[in-house]
């Protein structure tokens, strides 16, 4: 099965000229979803991974499934103000301003090896902020895995320049 063929493209969303890569069609396809999770897990089998971190919101779905398959704990990386306990926070730049991600202060023990999962890598800003957050909490990101890479936006290179291996199951040219 070609994962890319199960992902819907919505033109001009959220603004004109953007081709939105919608993975809800993949999630709604039982075989496609299973294949995607298996393909996200396979490169990491046998690696020392203590926890999987998933970025809100689609990264929760994928990361939870990957953590389950690897028999490790799951860490939700949330938007600011959504976690009920003490948090570490990391700001990052958006096209028109800034945003902030958080994890609980007790989510990671010093030295733990963390796999970061999200649905898509575009500019890499959210992923880099997540990496910084995990590192601030004492963890080490062993790899980042995504369903979709938008290589024209440079996110993969941005993370690889940080020394983080990046895996993406498919790529779409353009924005």
Tens of pLDDT, residues 8-52: 999 999 889 899 999 999 999 999 999 999 999 999 999 999 999
Longest dimension (CA), the chain: 44
Adjacent-strand bridge partners of 87: 104
> What's residue 174's pLDDT?
76
- Digit-coded pLDDT (tens) for 33-43: 999 999 999 99
- Is 58 catalytic? The answer is yes
Confidence of residue 95 (pLDDT cuts 50, 70, 90): low
* Domain range annotation of the chain: 40-171
pTM to 2 decimals? 0.96
Contact 33, 69 (CB under 8 A): no
Instruction: List, in order, residues 6 or more apart from 163 with CB less than 8 Å away.
Output: none
Name the burial class of residue 21, with classes exposed (0-12), middle (13-18) and buried (19+) by CB atoms within 10 angstroms of its CB: buried
Residue 75 to residues 25, 36, 41, 112, 136, Cα–Cα distance (Å): 25, 20, 16, 12, 14
Supply the mean pLDDT for the chain.
96
CB 117 within 8 A of CB 143: no
Q: Which of 34, 35, 56, 95 is catalytic?
A: 95
Active-site pick, 21, 34, 56, 58: 58
Q: What is the DSSP letter of 64?
A: H
> Assign residue 130 a region: left if phi > 0, alpha if psi is -120 to 50, beta otherwise?
alpha
Annotated active-site residue 95? The verdict is yes
Q: Which fold does the domain 40-171 belong to in CATH?
A: Rossmann fold (3.40.50)
């Amino acid at each position: 099965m070609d994962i890319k063929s199960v992902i819907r493209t919505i033109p001009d969303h959220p603004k004109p000229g953007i081709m939105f890569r919608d993975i809800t069609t993949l999630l709604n396809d039982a075989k496609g979803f299973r294949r995607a999770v298996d393909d996200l897990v396979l490169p990491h089998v046998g690696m020392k991974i203590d926890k999987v971190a998933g970025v809100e919101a689609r990264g929760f779905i994928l990361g939870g499934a990957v953590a389950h398959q690897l028999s490790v704990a799951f860490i939700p990386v949330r938007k600011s103000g959504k976690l009920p306990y003490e948090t570490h926070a990391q700001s990052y730049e958006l096209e028109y301003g800034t945003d902030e991600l958080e994890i609980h202060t007790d989510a990671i023990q010093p030295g733990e090896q963390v796999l970061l999962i999200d649905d898509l890598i575009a500019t890499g800003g959210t992923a880099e902020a997540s990496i910084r957050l995990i590192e601030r909490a004492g963890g080490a990101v062993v790899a980042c895995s995504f369903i979709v890479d938008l290589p024209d936006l440079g996110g993969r290179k941005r993370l690889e320049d940080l020394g983080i291996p990046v895996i993406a199951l498919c790529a779409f040219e353009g924005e």
